[in-house]
Structure 1
Amino acid sequence: MLASLPAFLRIPLAIALLIVNTIVHVLPLFALTFVKLLLPIHAARVAMSRVLVALAESWIGVNSALFDLFTRTRWQVEGLEGLKRDGNYLVLCNHQSWVDIPVLQKVFNRRIPFLRFFLKSQLIWVPLLGPAWWALDFPFMKRHSREELARHPELAGKDRETTRKACEKFRHMPVSVMNFVEGTRFTRAKHDAQGAPYAHLLRPKAGGVAFVLDAMGEGLHAIVDVTIVYAHGAGSMMDLIAGRVRDIRVHIRQRVIDPALRGDYENDAAFRERFQAWINTLWAEKDADVGRLLEG
């Protein structure tokens, strides 16, 4: 019913309800995070972390319900079978738009452990959302340009150290670690500049995936390989809210983690070459999946 409202009523109402939902969930999230910081007992802090995750899952659930109410977006999701709420997963996905995040949250909410993304450090300053992501143990990564690294080589290992610390914390809780392997959102200009060998994807960046696999060790149960396709283009978050993202197709494939995928990516040249070959093969398969989903 709400999806049939005129756009001048529907869009402001949807935005208002999304904002209210965010405030209703984020304010108690901040209060409970403060309580958690004061708790002296580790077991109590772990229990409080579960409460925070439950709040976040409720927040996502209401957002997803609002998108369903206010839009006529068609969803095609393949491959959810066999996923476990108490499993530990590394989730790998192609990246086209900010819309990817609510898509992943809707598809996986309460089906696998709460998704945690590696975020750019600047995003901590996003009002309400940045502090909320921090409270939920999202790792923040400080990206450095080649020029900065040339001037300050000691910065090269900072992201790896952040990854290691985050994964150490994740080893003690059910978790789904999310990685957009391309490292940036797809555009045709970026694709052409890279000379990417794929029709629909940018080149994958292997290092971050290798660091997480090594740092998490046997704590990870499987890789969840996700391919997202927007049949009529990805659009923006406003396009999603306005109902202009009409057709979303998601393909999910669980992959066994071969022990050979764990190793010293930075210092072992032979391992690095094998790992890059593996992820390039995975990306070639994903490229074919994108083509199939676009035709479907």
Structure 2
Amino acid sequence: MLNFLPAFLIAPIAIALLLVNILFWVPILLVFAFIRLLLPFKATRPVIDPICVFIANSWISGNSGWMRLTQKLDWDVQGIAGLDPRSWYLVNSNHQSWVDIFVLQHLLNRKIPLLKFFLKQELIWVPFMGLAWWALDFPFMRRHSEEYLRKHPEMRAKDQETTRKACEKFALIPTSVMNFLEGTRFTPAKHAKQQSPYQYLLKPKAGGIALALDALGAKFDSILDVTIVYPQGIPTFMDFMAGRVDRVIVRVRKVPVPAHLLGGNYAEDAEFRKAFGDWVQQLWREKDAQIGELLQQARRG
């Protein structure tokens, strides 16, 4: 364990190990992704996709390895026992930092199927990682404001079709579809600008989760509602790399897939869209209250 070293030494070691892990696994992943691209037959995916998932899970295990080597984290985790890596899950979490990704992958790797994130379209251009996300069939979405969608309602249908095509691939092997309902990382400035009614959360955006349920709802075993709390305050990526994050609290609860919200048309049915929004708002009120309770408990000791 190297966590006894000072932060100015831990950070470059952790970053170097992170990069080595990327440079080792991504080229291997791309070989199989290009084989799949060259052989675009229905029978190819059930063979190649599990190989790509195995590579991704091994990559995540490598990240967990350097995290154990360089970090001294106190994990306070509840709710991950009894999860099934052969099921389909729709996973939702609050989003505060890039560290959230490492936390989710570390805790859920091989306990549930590989997490597939909905990503901003611009992230396809991130060196190495953009190609890796493409190889793993992560959906790349264009983010539109409600004001824009009111002026261009046809874009709802386009996003719906993009999601449906991605979820058709997800139906072939067990998959966990990951969605950050806030759509972006929490910051006090964003919270103030939105005039969010929640103390610890930004306003949720129901579109992504609605489209995923519409496209793959019958496949999902349940929804995993994840709450991540950093008692010392929200860490930056460099805080994490330098070993300055001492404790992470995570709560995972299974939420039944809402049967009354399956089969509706989120893009065109305003009444259904309101019902879906009401369900998401209730989910968010419960999460906001839970974060407050967890922070109070952490302060007490």
TM bucket by the smaller chain?
over 0.9
2:49 equivalent to 1:52: no
| 1:214-272 deviation per Cα after TM superposition (whole angstroms, max 9, x unaligned) | 11131111000000111112222121111112211100000111210211122223322
Farther off after superposition, 74-83 or 125-134: 74-83
> In 2, are the aligned partners of 1:234 and 1:245 still within 8 Å (CA)?
no
Farther off after superposition, 236-245 or 108-117: 236-245
Q: Distance in 1 between matches of 2:252 and 2:153?
A: 39
- Give the aligned length: 296
- 1:204 aligned counterpart, secondary structure: coil
Where in structure 2 are the equivalents of 1:87-106 lying within 5 Å? 87-106=87-106
> In 2, are the aligned partners of 1:39 and 1:45 still within 8 Å (CA)?
no
Where in structure 2 are the equivalents of 1:117-156 lying within 5 Å? 117-144=117-144, 154-156=154-156
- 2:253 aligned counterpart, secondary structure: strand
Farther off after superposition, 74-83 or 111-120: 74-83
Residue type of the alignment partner of 2:213: L
Structure 1: gaps spanning 5 or more residues: none
**Distance 1:228-1:32 versus aligned 2 partners, 3 A rule:** same
Farther off after superposition, 260-269 or 170-179: 260-269
Q: Which residue of 2 aligns with 1:24?
A: 24
Q: Per-residue deviation at 1:16?
A: 1.2
| 1:165-199 deviation per Cα after TM superposition (whole angstroms, max 9, x unaligned) | 11122122211000100111111222222222211
Q: Per-residue deviation at 1:53?
A: 0.7
Q: Per-residue deviation at 1:45?
A: 2.8
Q: Distance in 2 between matches of 1:225 and 1:58?
A: 25
2:266 equivalent to 1:265: yes
Q: Distance in 2 between matches of 1:150 and 1:87?
A: 36
> In 1, are the aligned partners of 2:21 and 2:62 still within 8 Å (CA)?
yes
**Distance 1:291-1:151 versus aligned 2 partners, 3 A rule:** closer
Q: Which residue of 2 aligns with 1:295?
A: 296
Q: TM-score, normalised by structure 1?
A: 0.94
Q: Per-residue deviation at 1:158?
A: 2.5
Q: Which residue of 1 aligns with 2:12?
A: 12
2:207 equivalent to 1:207: yes
Q: Distance in 2 between matches of 1:269 and 1:156?
A: 12
Residue type of the alignment partner of 1:236: T
Q: Which residue of 2 aligns with 1:170?
A: 170
Q: Distance in 2 between matches of 1:249 and 1:162?
A: 34
Q: Distance in 1 between matches of 2:8 and 2:217?
A: 51
Aligned-pair identity (%): 54
Residue type of the alignment partner of 2:123: L
| 1:136-166 deviation per Cα after TM superposition (whole angstroms, max 9, x unaligned) | 0001012346787688664443222211111
Q: Distance in 2 between matches of 1:41 and 1:250?
A: 41
Q: Which residue of 2 aligns with 1:161?
A: 161
Farther off after superposition, 166-175 or 4-13: 4-13
Residue type of the alignment partner of 2:267: E
2:246 equivalent to 1:246: yes
Structure 2: gaps spanning 5 or more residues: none
> In 2, are the aligned partners of 1:226 and 1:253 still within 8 Å (CA)?
yes
Q: Which residue of 2 aligns with 1:279?
A: 280
Residue type of the alignment partner of 2:260: A
Q: Distance in 2 between matches of 1:199 and 1:292?
A: 12
| 1:59-86 deviation per Cα after TM superposition (whole angstroms, max 9, x unaligned) | 1111112111101121111101221001
Q: Distance in 1 between matches of 2:193 and 2:68?
A: 37
Q: Which residue of 2 aligns with 1:181?
A: 181
Q: Per-residue deviation at 1:40?
A: 5.8
Q: Distance in 2 between matches of 1:34 and 1:46?
A: 15
| 1:269-295 deviation per Cα after TM superposition (whole angstroms, max 9, x unaligned) | 332222221111111110111112112
What is the Cα-based RMSD across aligned positions, in Å? 1.9
Q: Distance in 2 between matches of 1:185 and 1:281?
A: 20
Farther off after superposition, 269-278 or 45-54: 269-278
Where in structure 2 are the equivalents of 1:75-90 lying within 5 Å? 75-90=75-90
Q: Distance in 2 between matches of 1:170 and 1:43?
A: 15
Q: Distance in 2 between matches of 1:41 and 1:151?
A: 39
- 2:217 aligned counterpart, secondary structure: helix
